[in-house]
Structure 1
């Protein structure tokens, strides 16, 4: 992902998820490269620069989204503790050199920044698009109706950089809660009245071709609508540490060869064997819907 990424960055993420990558084919997580000086006080283990992983790549991509600071940039939540509410307003900044807010970003998939908000048990998922004020403070409404610990991923590309970043920070919602178990691996997800079927398998360190087929009331959907300049966005999160990947589909609306459904095909790499949660955003009849899958990588 030219990572938002939102998943996108799997991103449109789910996550290329700076900014979600616009290349045709696989656009996944980061390619590790030496970090620049700056914001070392915020650094956490893991993570790497965001970039591209093309077809046929054999080297597993480094993970992304594990660091709150990286390459001289920091994700700075104005507040990281909330009471339960369905209409919370999240505010944050991207800090650069000397802790000054960054205000210039490149546009990727129609947005200058993609924000993914998930609860750490992967029971909830939101892909939203904040608006930036003149002082560099971003804001967006999010549903925090359920208590628990959330992970916030900011997927963006500063104007001064050649590649994008995905930074992550935890957010806490007060109140009693019981983590929900991850659903078992399955190849079908129902978002009534839609059904999405997954064909393909994740293979650690190799390019995996995944095809998702959308039907409505048992009939193929052949008029999917472009959403963030694609027919679908897929975000993958690794169970355990929530390592973030965002992948965009092969082809693009209007390229003369990509049909608007029922199939959306992705080329994706995951960095390791294990369990992943996949979130597909697609738009039909003017509404964006999200289908979720649990998948095992071997």
Structure 2
């Protein structure tokens, strides 16, 4: 991946995975909740928040690698990840376009080779997985980072339970195992049936609390220019210095742009075992926003055997406003709840 947050979308959308998460913790993967209106198409982390449009992703490379914030399509300007349902000859076929709110369901999909019409069955492993799946609500208050299971015929499936009705975006982050293939993030819309109650984007704060952990964000997100984002993890007022590797890193960051859920998946600067990266309390990322505007950042980190998700609202560009010092209500919003981790 490149040096820049990858809203290209394991949540703007999740389009994370800039599709997600919030304050969440659990025995399997975390959640965060707040809500929305049905969209247009068709293991666990979690959170919920903004409307979707049409949504892309890039490769990783080098230290602090991450997906690029966009890619050129037909020689035109680069698009952020997750805005498109097909790209580079591959398409996301979401076979479960609708589920019911607050009810466990099986999410099924396939990545299709558009030239042959067949399901893709060969993928390169990235961070221990062939494919990372992000699900985020349009208002960015609910976020899940999932790792589905692939059947021999190329159909992927994973259980999912989404707490609020409304529109969601599903992001598939993968690299086909074919010559010269690039990493892709494809997106499709998911409807969750039930009474919808859209929530406003949570206010920007420097610190959020999830499952007893205080996570503080230091740094700014800049449009068109790389910048360092540092996230510090503490518990009970003491720095956490024994974070555990999760999918080959001490933290994973997904950024989703409010309004269209454009997706950026960013990886940290350094990795466990490289001789210089410490297991906390600080996790460092280099990120680039594709435009001015509001974004939702979802940090997944593991400690004491559980993965938690901390969610932040940030503003890129002039006139973004300042972050606020957290109050108890803002530190642990109602979208910050724990859920079983399902990888």
TM band (smaller chain): 0.7 to 0.9
Residue of structure 2 in register with 1:281 after alignment:
300
- From 82, 100, 109, the counterpart of 2:127: 109
Residue of structure 2 in register with 1:92 after alignment:
109
How do 1:1-20 and structure 2 match up within 5 A? Answer: 1=1, 6=10
The farther-off stretch of 142-151 and 281-290 is 142-151
Residue of structure 2 in register with 1:207 after alignment:
226
Kindly tell me: are residues 129 and 68 of structure 1, through their superposed partners in 2, closer, same or farther at Cα, counting changes over 3 Å?
same
- Distance in 2 between residues matched to 1:207 and 1:126, nearest whole Å: 26
Kindly tell me: are residues 220 and 86 of structure 1, through their superposed partners in 2, closer, same or farther at Cα, counting changes over 3 Å?
farther
Residue of structure 1 in register with 2:89 after alignment:
72
Residue of structure 2 in register with 1:249 after alignment:
268
Q: For residue 190 of structure 1, report the CA deviation from its aligned partner.
A: 0.5
Structure 2: any 5+ residue segments left out of the alignment? 22-55, 318-343
- Distance in 2 between residues matched to 1:47 and 1:67, nearest whole Å: 14
Partners of 1:204 and 1:271 within 8 A in 2: yes
- From 281, 284, 307, the counterpart of 1:265: 284
Partners of 2:60 and 2:68 within 8 A in 1: no
Equivalent residues, number: 274
Structure 1: any 5+ residue segments left out of the alignment? 37-45, 49-61
Kindly tell me: are residues 5 and 177 of structure 1, through their superposed partners in 2, closer, same or farther at Cα, counting changes over 3 Å?
closer
Residue of structure 1 in register with 2:67 after alignment:
28
- Distance in 2 between residues matched to 1:5 and 1:239, nearest whole Å: 12
TM-score of the aligned structures, taking structure 2 as reference length: 0.74
- Distance in 1 between residues matched to 2:161 and 2:127, nearest whole Å: 23
Residue of structure 1 in register with 2:80 after alignment:
63
- From 259, 263, 272, the counterpart of 1:240: 259
Alignment pair present for 1:157 and 2:175: yes
State the Cα deviation string for residues 257-279 of structure 1 (Å, max 9, x = none): 00000000000001111000000
The farther-off stretch of 265-274 and 138-147 is 138-147
Q: For residue 118 of structure 1, report the CA deviation from its aligned partner.
A: 0.5
The farther-off stretch of 78-87 and 217-226 is 78-87
- From 147, 166, 169, the counterpart of 1:148: 166
Cα RMSD after superposing both structures: 2.6
Residue of structure 2 in register with 1:135 after alignment:
153
Higher relative contact order, chain-length normalized (CA < 8 Å, sep 6+): 2
TM-score of the aligned structures, taking structure 1 as reference length: 0.85
Partners of 1:198 and 1:210 within 8 A in 2: yes
The farther-off stretch of 141-150 and 245-254 is 141-150
Secondary structure class of the residue paired with 1:98: coil
Partners of 2:57 and 2:68 within 8 A in 1: no
